Amino acid sequence: MNNNHRFSKKFLSIALSATIGLSAIAAGQAQPVAAATVTTSKATKIINLGDNYLGVKYKFGASTNITSAFDCSSFTKYIFGKYGVKLPRVSSAQAKVGKYVSKSNLKKGDLVFFSTARTGKKIGHVAVYAGNNKILHTYGKPGVTFSNLNSSHWKSHYVTARRVL
């Protein structure tokens, strides 16, 4: 993503926040500072960080000390770790942290887990739910990318989801 696009996204986000805030004040409503707001903010920051790595190549077993290549779990470990959320190294272990969340109750920032050809029916892939049925993850040729959770492949390989925020 180029700097102009990144600036535009940040400016739009700030402008929208200010507009919503001023509308709430004008309507005589106090702005809630709830845990849900903090969680949404952290989830958005994590997804935005991941967005900066779109196209970075996929490499199975990639080191967690590099950002020039990721596998699915090193990617989630890295982007969540930058915001203070410590995750285990592999997707099957990441699937055991946080709280279970049903597919119908997914929120931005939830971890979504899938089976793979390599793992059979067991968990072998992790992604971040980005809202609007999109997942942010890395695999194969596209590397870090967004995919549609409801596409035939991801829908048929879905296993579970966890809320870690």
Report whether 65 contacts 90 (CB < 8 A): no
Q: Which helix (H) or strand (E) holds 159?
A: strand 158-163
Between the alpha carbon of residue 6 and those of residues 83, 137, 147, the distances in Å are 19, 20, 21
Report whether 153 contacts 145 (CB < 8 A): no
Query: Look-up: residue for tokens 């040729």?
Result: 141
d(CA 106, CA 103): 5
d(CA 85, CA 111): 12
Active site members: 72, 125, 137
